[in-house]
Amino acid sequence: MKQLEKFFYMVRMVFLEKLAYTKALWFDIMATLVYIVIYYFLWQIVFRSQNQLAGFSMMEMTTYIILSRTLAAQFSGGVNRQFAVWIYEGAIGTELQRPVGIFTNLLSRRVGEFLFYLLFKAAPVLLVSFLFLRGTGPAGAENVILFFVSVVLSVWMMFYIEMIVGMGSFYTLTHYALGYIKTALLDLLSGSVVPLALFPAAVGTVLQVLPFAGMVSVPINIFLGKYSIRQTFFYLLLQCIWTAVMYLLAHGCYGKVIKKVVVQGG
């Protein structure tokens, strides 16, 4: 219980820290809106000549675009940058001495960042976009709840991916390249640029079961009621499994990498 209290205290600290720098936020929100506008008009042409595409109506596609770009707005953030900065500036030494482990430490940052994102990025973007572009609402109340479950699971898994990317900084001069690669890959493989159904069948099927689908494609399909109950639980279970895999992978990598730090510091 004490641990949890500490954890939430750290979450609150990160949240407040983020709150102090809200000026750049407007530009972040605008950038996300630009992407929504681009994809909205791209898909508009599609639906001028047909009513359905891969099982999506125009209204559903609009919802897909809005939600996918909003969820994808998280990809360029994450703790990999913070982790990398600690490594380059040598602060990692201090951070390692803290009474909480580096994973707990950074997870609290990630949770703080996620809460901030929900309140100050996702909420305004969703409000403005749905107001101007319309789009269908959720298929039902339970869809909204399961949508959130899926999103939270995906952020948890994203955290471990970010940790692995961050550890890459032990081997490189700057963290930008690795960060950009992460953003681009997540963008593409999660179905945030194009719904997975539009990929060539074989590729689409593989992407569907890879961990990345859980970040955009799965939650939105749940939101729109495109999955049966069976499918919904299958994909949620899959997300849990991938989260566990990434957890093991990240901790495994960390065990290897941290030895390097000790050697350098000795």
Binding site for another protein (CB under 8 A): 23-24, 27, 30-31, 34-35, 37-38, 41-46, 49, 53, 171-174, 176-181, 183-185, 187-188, 193-194, 198-199
The CB-of-222 to another protein minimum distance in angstroms stands at 22
Q: Which is nearer to another protein, 123 or 198 (CB)?
A: 198
Q: Which is nearer to another protein, 11 or 166 (CB)?
A: 166
Rounded-to-integer distance, Cα 160 and Cα 79, Å: 9
Q: Which is nearer to another protein, 146 or 162 (CB)?
A: 162
The CB-of-266 to another protein minimum distance in angstroms stands at 24
Q: Which is nearer to another protein, 207 or 253 (CB)?
A: 207
Q: Which is nearer to another protein, 19 or 181 (CB)?
A: 181
The CB-of-23 to another protein minimum distance in angstroms stands at 6
The CB-of-26 to another protein minimum distance in angstroms stands at 8
Rounded-to-integer distance, Cα 189 and Cα 151, Å: 16
The CB-of-50 to another protein minimum distance in angstroms stands at 9
